Every structure is written in C-alpha cells, then in structure tokens.
Amino acid sequence: MRWLLLKDLQILRRSPLQALLLIAYPILLALLIGFAISRAPEKPRVAFLNEIPPGARVAAGDGKLPSVGVNERICGRVACVEVDSRAEAEEKVRRGDTLAALILPADLIDRLNSLGTLNPETPEVDVIVNQQDPVKARLVDDRITVLLAEANGLIARQIAAEGGRYLNLVVNGGKFDVLGQKVEILGLRATATILRALRPAVPAGMRAELDRVIRFATLARDNLDVATPLIDRLAQPIAVDKKSIDGSAPPLETFAIAVAATLTLTFVVLLLVAGSLALEREENTVARLTGGIVSRSALLVEKLGLGVVVGLGVTLLMLAGVQLFAALEWSRLGLWIVAILAAAAALAAAGAALGAAARDVRSVSLLAFMVALPIALLSLVPSGAVGTTPFDAIRVITALFPFKPALQAITAALDSSGRGIGTPLLHLAILAVAYGALARLALRRLQSA
Amino acid sequence: MEARGVVKLYGKREALKGVDLSAGRGELVAVIGPNGAGKTTLLSILAGTVKADGGTVSPPDGGVGWVPQQAALYRRLTVEENLLLFARLEGRPEPRGAVEEMLKLTGLGARRGEVVARLSGGNQQRVNIAIGLLAEPAVLLLDEPSVGLDPRQRARLWEFVAGLAGGGTTVVFSTHDIQEAERFGRRLLVLADGESLFDGAAAELREAVRAEAPEAAGSDFETAFVAFLQHRGH
C-alpha cells in the first residue's frame, strides 16, 4: 500500500500546477485571513458639518446641560472628514470620498430646547447618502441609527439627571440659583419635621388640619423619593441581560481561522482523493490493481491515507502562516492534529465515494466543488437567520457532510474556552465509516460493470 | 487454465452462456467474435477481475497476468517508474532486476526514463503487456492487444507474444480480427452473443465454415466466417 501512496505523491509532484496549488492555496488563504484579522475594521468615512453655534447648550428647566462634546463623540465612531459647507458635504458623498455626510443644523439645539415649551419643533439632523451601493447604504444607515440612538440616550440621561436634582431639592431642600441669586429651598422632609415640632403648640381644634398637612408632606416626600429612580430609568428603560444558552461562542478571530482551515482542508482533501480515485479509473488501473494485486479495501485505505497526509500537512502549513498575524495556542497542537486527522479522514472518505462514482478527473472535480461549496456555505448559516423549517433542513443536510463537524472539531481544538471536541469527532468518525462503505460499494459496482 | 460452463449476467442479459475454455502450457489461444460477443467478459472472468454468475474457473498454479484492452498504467509516470511500481506491488523479491528484465524483453530500455504519455500507442501497449508479465504468470490474458496499432507495431507485438509463448507462457488473447486470430492463434474459440460456437484449430474452423456456409467457400476467410456466424443465427 505504501508503494501506491508513494506513486500518488509522485504523480502529484509530477503535476506542477496541482502541487503549486496545494502549497500556494493554503499560504494565500493564510495571508488573506491573517491580513483581515490583524487589521481593526476601518471606520466608515463620513463628511461632517457642525453648524451649531459655539456655546449653544440644551436647556433643562432654568439651567443648561453641560457640553457633551458632540464632535468628539461622533468622530469617535466614524472617520470624520470635516467640511465647511453643505455643498462640499454633498460633493464628497457624490464623488465617493465619503460614505455619507452628517450635518448638525444650526437650529438643532433651539429645536431641542423647544421640546420643553408649548410650541415644540422636531429636532433633526441631516444625512446625505449615496444609495448606489446597497451594502454601503445599509452600513451607513446602521451607523447613523446607532449614533442617533446614542445621542438621544445621552440627552435623555442628562435631562433625567437634571430633573432628579430638582426633585431632590423639593424633597430634601437645599440652595438653588435663580437669576444669580441663591434661594434657600426648605424641602418636604424639613417641612414635615418643623410641622411635627409645632404640633403641640397648635390649638387642639386645629391639630386635625395640621396633621393632614404633615401627612401630605410625608407622603409627597416618600413618593417623590421613588420618582427619582423612575426618572433615571426613563432615560434607558430597557437594559440588556445577555445569557448564552448554548456554550460560549469562540472569539471571532478564532472562528475565522477555523473556517479558513476547514475550507482549506475540505477542498484539498476532497479534490485530491476524489481526483486520485477518478484518475485510477481514467488510467484503467482499478481492475488491474484489484484483480489480485491489492484488495479494494486496501486501495481505499491508501486513498484515505493520501488525503489525510496531504490534508494534515497543508492545514498545518496554513495555520503556521496565520500564526504570523494572530497568536495561536501551539500548546494545543495535539488537539489540532486530532481534529484535522478526524476531519481529513471523513472528508477523504466522502472524496473517495465521489471519486468512485465519477468517470473522470474533470467531472469529479466539478462534482466535488458543486457538492462542497454550497454545503460549506450552508454550514455557516447561523440559527435564527432563516425560518425554523429551512434551518431544520439545513441542519439535516449539513450533518450528512463532514464540513460542519470538521469546522466544529477544528474550532474546539483551536479555542480553549469553547465547546468540547468529543461530539464532532464522533460525528466525523460515523461519517468516515459511512462514506467509506459507500466508496467501497461504488468500487465494487465499478469493477463488476 | 480451464473454465467450464461460465455464465455471466448483466441484469437480464446473458453476456456468457455456459462457455468452456482450456489452454495448455505455451499454447496461444485466440478468442474471436463480433463486438458484444462476450470476449472481454470471458477474459475478465479468467483474470479474476469480474465474478462469474455460474460455472467454474480453475486458475493455473503460476497465476494469471491480465492485460486489458485499454493500457492500464500511469501515464504521468515514466516507463521505469510504472514497471518498478507494479514489480513492488506484485511482491517481486528483486523489483529492480525484474524491471531490467522487462525493459530488455520489451526493447524499451532506451526509453525507460520517458513519461508513458509521450510514448506511441504501440509502445504503451508493450509497457502494458510488460506489467502483465511482471508477476511471471503461467497464463497471460491479452484483451484485444493490437487495437489502435499500425501494421509495424502490430508485427512487433505479435513477435513479442510469440516469443512469450515459445518460452512456455500460455497466452489467451481476444480479437475481432479473424485474420489475426488465424495467423497467430494455435487454437481459436469463437464466441457470438455469449455463446461458444467453435473451439479448435484455424484449419478446423475453415472446414467448419466450408461445411456450414458452402455458398461462401470461394470467398476470403473473413467473408466466409461472417456467413458461418449468420448460419448459426448471429
């Protein structure tokens, strides 16, 4: 069997394009993935025009809210390209220099302040987008929606805090600025205390009325105490309490590396094994080999061995390439190898089943691509992205092919805090046996045909 | 080598209907018949690459070498690499020695380092046969070995095969070329639609043709043979 394996490697070496692809493909993929994950996502470039007069503040009661640093906040989320006029902003968007333009009109603060008057006007910001590219348009919409939600939340929190300060004055008393004069506010708490102290000195006939005033002051104090946190909650009524019910997700970087490694392994192993077996058929050597020289099982095992050996080498090469850009836990190398070997064995068995069924290398290569690519894409569809019935169908389809368990096994091997590796390994073992049996059956039919 | 009452079914179609064949040491047996007669099926069963549905096949003590019609070798490897691979797979104790022997036998020593894909059809067929001989079989089975060869290559091929038979190797070959069978086969087995119609020497076949199709007696052997098949209902 080792001579057959050496022969296949010799043929591989004899095909410079194939050999180059086998080495170049993982290196190229590693470089691409590494480059992508080593760079933080770039902020979208947005033309920014702030027409609000300097010193304008949002009013709250008789006071004004402190400056929130609008420019800094916005430009912290997007890459601001400051412009001097609306025309310039529009031109930047039209030419594609920026994804969008955000204009804060001069009357924005006035309109915000009008919300507390009898003639409220809706505060608006102006957004200019180029809708030519739907993906870009969606990205800009999302970013601006988030920015506005943050701005609204910030203002609401500041108003709530100011309102809470006034309520506190009413309840507990204190000093208050009115037109530059300090005014002492007694507060409900002190009012009730003073009235209680005065009660014995009040004629008996008036005590009932006094008691009503004391009760009111006490009740108002207690209820307004409760109102303060309520006003606070109004600023952010819904809080997020995130609980993960299906294990912890691996870091995006690790998942991206696992996807790249699994894709590499899938295409290399599947195409190599299927192509190698189809080549035996193309060269008419299957009957000669299995006519007494080697058994069908031995021929299959040799092809699986070829896929596993080359798949392991190529995937490790790819991971070594990724290491240049992202830190991988090489202490888990043993687990990586286990995961890659199991995945490669199942993929090789699937490749053998395809190769035994196809007539020639070209058709089997096409078949392998047509099978692997959609299944790989389907395997990446997250739950909730499609309806329940289509997702159940996707789960069944992807469970029948080794890509998804291979991805799960490699992710688990790469991510120390992730899920266990046992279940995907068992899944891969079952698929390897099933596809191996299918391939053997196909070889038997091929020989007796 | 002996086969008795060999039956092969492909679905409901009977590819072989109880065919007998025997071949002694150093004998050259030609299996002839029109396309679809069952020649390749019979040889594949004798080689052990296809299982019979009925009858018995007694393989010879020295094993069988199988040379399929389409050259079964690796075209991206050189002549020498192909021979060495199969010598190793056949478990030859001295694989390199066996390769030298085959290169000498086939006359391809000068082209040992050449990739098979670049060889002519005739030379590829010689390598194909050499691979079949690597196991040093007592019986060599050749399925239509001269198909696609020019007359010069054909002559070299038959010279080579005659040399093997002269050395004691039993050779059973299939062909649909009646003149080739008559010229090189010491014994002829005629198959048509899976049925064995004749088994004997070429001269005996001529006699049988003359007896059964007298109207074609004056024609060439091929025309007379076709008339013979028609008389037998094929």
CATH number of residue B207's parent domain? 3.40.50.300
Quick one: B227 and B143 in the same domain? yes
Q: What is the pLDDT of residue A64?
A: 65
Q: What is the pLDDT of residue A202?
A: 86
Domain-embedded: residue B39: yes
Residue of chain B minimizing CA distance to A2: B89
Tokens 């609401």, located at residue: A156
Quick one: A351 and A272 in the same domain? yes
Structurally, chain B folds into a number of domains equal to 2
Q: Which residue has the higher pLDDT, A346 or B91?
A: A346
Quick one: B50 and B163 in the same domain? yes
Closest CA to B163 of B132, B184, B135: B184
Boundary (domain end) residue, out of A187, A215, A242: A242
Quick one: A179 and A262 in the same domain? no
CB–CB of A294 and B89 under 8 A?
Answer: yes
Q: Find the radius of gyration of the CA atoms of chain B.
A: 18
Domain range for B112 is 73-136
* Cβ-based contacts of B72 with chain A (< 8 Å): 283-285, 287-288
Quick one: B127 and B165 in the same domain? no
Quick one: B144 and B188 in the same domain? yes
Q: Which of A19-28, A298-307, B1-10, B84-93 has the lowest mean pLDDT?
A: A19-28
Boundary (domain end) residue, out of A207, A242, A277: A242
| Two tokens, residue B116 | 């098979």
Quick one: A234 and A268 in the same domain? no
Quick one: B208 and B102 in the same domain? no
| Cα A32 to Cα A321: distance, rounded to the nearest angstrom | 10
Give the minimum alpha-carbon distance from B107 to chain A in angstroms, rounded to a whole number. Answer: 23
* Cβ-based contacts of B44 with chain A (< 8 Å): 287
Quick one: A209 and A101 in the same domain? yes
Quick one: A71 and A6 in the same domain? no
Q: Collect all residues from A whose CB is shorter than 8 A from any CB in B.
A: 3-4, 7, 10-11, 14-15, 283-285, 287-294, 447-448
Quick one: B31 and B46 in the same domain? yes
Closest partner CB to A288 (pick from B51, B66, B88)? B66
* Cβ-based contacts of A278 with chain B (< 8 Å): none
Boundary (domain end) residue, out of A193, A209, A242: A242
Quick one: A352 and A220 in the same domain? no
Give the minimum alpha-carbon distance from B169 to chain A in angstroms, rounded to a whole number. Answer: 19
DSSP B186: S
The model scores a pTM over 0.80:
no
Domain range for A148 is 47-242
Q: What is the pLDDT of residue A94?
A: 85
Domain-embedded: residue B68: no
| Cα B107 to Cα B109: distance, rounded to the nearest angstrom | 6
Give the minimum alpha-carbon distance from A328 to chain B in angstroms, rounded to a whole number. Answer: 40
pLDDT, tens only, B21-75: 999 899 999 999 888 889 999 999 998 888 899 999 988 887 888 888 888 899 9
Quick one: B50 and B143 in the same domain? yes
Find the mean pLDDT for residues B14-18.
91
Is a pLDDT exceeding 80 seen at residue B218? no
pLDDT, tens only, A338-359: 999 999 999 999 999 998 888 7
CA B225 to chain centre: 20
* Cβ-based contacts of A289 with chain B (< 8 Å): 89
Name the stretches of chain A with pLDDT < 70.
34, 36-42, 60-70, 116, 118, 131-137, 178-179, 234-252, 384, 418, 446-449
Quick one: A414 and A339 in the same domain? yes
Quick one: A191 and A327 in the same domain? no
Closest partner CB to B76 (pick from A3, A14, A289)? A14
pLDDT, tens only, A219-249: 888 887 777 777 777 666 666 665 655 555 5
Quick one: A296 and A323 in the same domain? yes
Q: What is the pLDDT of residue B172?
A: 94
Could you write out the three-class secondary structure of chain A? CHHHHHHHHHHHHHCHHHHHHHHHHHHHHHHHHHHHHHCCCCCCEEEEEECCCCCCCCEECCEECCCCCHHHHHHHHCEEEECCCHHHHHHHHHHCCCCEEEEECCCHHHHHHHCCCCCCCCCCCEEEECCCCHHHHHHHHHHHHHHHHHHHHHHHHHHHHHHHHHHHHHHHCEEEEECCEEEEECCHHHHHHHHHHHHHHCCHHHHHHHHHHHHHHHHHHHHHHHHHHHHHHHHCCCCCCCCCCCCCCCCHHHHHHHHHHHHHHHHHHHHHHHHHHHHHHHCCHHHHHHHHHCCHHHHHHHHHHHHHHHHHHHHHHHHHHHCCCCCCCHHHHHHHHHHHHHHHHHHHHHHHHHHHHCCCHHHHHHHHHHHHHHHHHHHCCCCCCCCHHHHHHHHHHHHCCCHHHHHHHHHHHHCCCCCCCHHHHHHHHHHHHHHHHHHHHHHHHHHHC
Domain-embedded: residue B91: yes
Domain-embedded: residue A42: no
Q: What is the pLDDT of residue A65?
A: 60
pLDDT, tens only, B109-152: 889 999 999 988 888 888 888 888 888 888 999 998 888 777 87
Boundary (domain end) residue, out of B136, B160, B187: B136
Residue type for position A170: V
Structurally, chain A folds into a number of domains equal to 2
CB–CB of B44 and A7 under 8 A?
Answer: no
Quick one: B130 and B183 in the same domain? no
Quick one: B96 and B189 in the same domain? no
Quick one: A73 and A17 in the same domain? no
Boundary (domain end) residue, out of B110, B136, B162: B136
Quick one: A324 and A387 in the same domain? yes
Is a pLDDT exceeding 80 seen at residue B183? yes
Q: What is the pLDDT of residue B17?
A: 92
Give the minimum alpha-carbon distance from A292 to chain B in angstroms, rounded to a whole number. Answer: 7
Closest partner CB to A291 (pick from B48, B74, B77)? B48
